[in-house]
């Protein structure tokens, strides 16, 4: 019999995979349009948000209910081998928090560059790893 928390993390992971598909679509467009580039960054933001919340739900199902919030969840997930590189996940968290400053050209360029490369790859790797372990 599956518990409610077991169902919850699977639902969240399903939503994460849908969001990642939309994010991938934006990455593949390789647009030079500023508005579309900002949209890609927003897709990174909500995909990352679903990613760490999936981890939080999975940790809860594993009995770690006290691990709450993005930074503690990322640290525990790295410790448990659920994410391959905890430092990239912490970097994604910092980037997500900086996204409100996209009016600053240097922040925008850095976020866009990382969102189309390093961050996208890390989230794809997360999907592959979690799918292999838990589907």
Rg (CA), the chain: 15
At 93-130, the pLDDT tens digits run 999 999 888 889 999 999 999 999 999 999 999 999 88
- Give me the pLDDT at residue 10, please: 92
Give me the residue spans of the domains in the chain: 4-134
Q: Which CATH superfamily is domain 4-134 in?
A: Nucleotidyltransferases  domain 2 (1.20.120.330)
> What number is the average pLDDT over the span 14-21?
97
Across the range 34-44, mean pLDDT stands at 95
Residue 2 has pLDDT above 70, yes or no: no
Summarize the confidence of residues 35-60 as an average pLDDT: 96
Residue 92 has pLDDT above 60, yes or no: yes
**pLDDT on residue 3:** 60
Average pLDDT in the chain: 92
Is the pLDDT at 1 greater than 50? The verdict is no
| Cα–Cα distance measured from residue 74 to residue 61, given in angstroms and rounded to the nearest whole number | 16
Q: What is the C-alpha separation between 79 and 96, in angstroms, rounded?
A: 22
pLDDT for residue 5 is more than 60: no
Distances (CA, A) of 121 to 57, 60, 84, 89, 132: 22, 26, 11, 11, 16
pLDDT reported for residue 89: 97
**What pTM value is reported for the model?**
0.92
């Amino acid at each position: 019999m599956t518990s409610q928390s077991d169902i919850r993390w699977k639902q969240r992971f399903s939503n994460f995979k849908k969001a990642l598909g939309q994010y991938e679509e934006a990455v593949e467009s390789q647009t030079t349009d500023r508005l579309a580039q900002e949209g890609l960054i927003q897709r990174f933001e909500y995909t990352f948000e679903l990613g760490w919340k999936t981890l939080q739900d999975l940790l809860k199902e594993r009995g770690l209910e006290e691990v709450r919030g993005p930074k503690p969840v990322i640290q525990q997930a790295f410790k448990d081998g659920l994410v391959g590189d905890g430092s990239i996940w912490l970097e994604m968290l910092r980037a997500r928090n900086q996204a409100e400053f996209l009016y600053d050209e240097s922040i925008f360029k850095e976020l866009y560059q990382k969102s189309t490369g390093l961050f996208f790859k890390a989230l794809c790797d997360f999907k592959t790893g979690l799918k292999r372990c838990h589907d």
